[in-house]
Structure 1
Amino acid sequence: MSTAASVQTRTAGSAGFHLNRRGRFLFVGFPVIVLAVLAAAAAVFFGAHGMAPAAASDDQPVAAVETITVNYGDTLWAIAGRTAPDSPRNEAILRIGELNDLDGGELQPGQVLFVPAGS
């Protein structure tokens, strides 16, 4: 009876298998990494294509802009007066700041700015 018990124990023990660290990574970690990369790629793909029609839609009017090069001594006040003489200068300065992502009023000679097109 001890031989039959040992045969059954060996059979039951050999029926299951044990994975080492590399095997666990291969069956668990690697698929998780692949799924994460695919999910990130899908998010980038659908995110970029999801925003593209909104940016290119005809629903929003596109304001005309021009580029100017800042000269020595130029200020936003003076540039706003030259480029948009019919609109209030404060509004023109704010618009120039938005178009160029300016944090302050400091300008450098040679800097290229987007300004609203003059009327």
Structure 2
Amino acid sequence: MAAHAGVMKKATHPEDLARLFVEYANAGDADSMAQLYAEDAVLDFPAGNPTIGRDAIRAVLKQLVAARPQFTVEQPLPTLINGDIALTATVPADGTGGRTQVARRQPDGTWLRILDRPERATK
């Protein structure tokens, strides 16, 4: 479902990615969620089962939003930036142990996720 009618907001700071993910997820917009990931990104979801590439991530996110979960913006931890790479994390509201992401600055100055571990791996 294209909740944003083709006008997708972009992350101008690495911290924007988590907020936009929640916004799109709550709107049921898996396509916009997937656009927050680089083409070669890796999403470790479900935990311990990496999903590789934006198209595969989109498929997983479509399944996720089909269940209509409600997400909340979580408290961000300080972002660590080294050149065009950023490490972001949030304090999980659901007690899963930690959410961490690595983002890469794009040529236009926006940021996309390249690695995403949304919950603690149990393996």
Q: What TM-score do you get using the length of structure 2 for normalisation?
A: 0.24
Q: Which has the larger radius of gyration?
A: 1
Q: What TM-score do you get using the length of structure 1 for normalisation?
A: 0.24
- Higher percent of residues as strand: 2
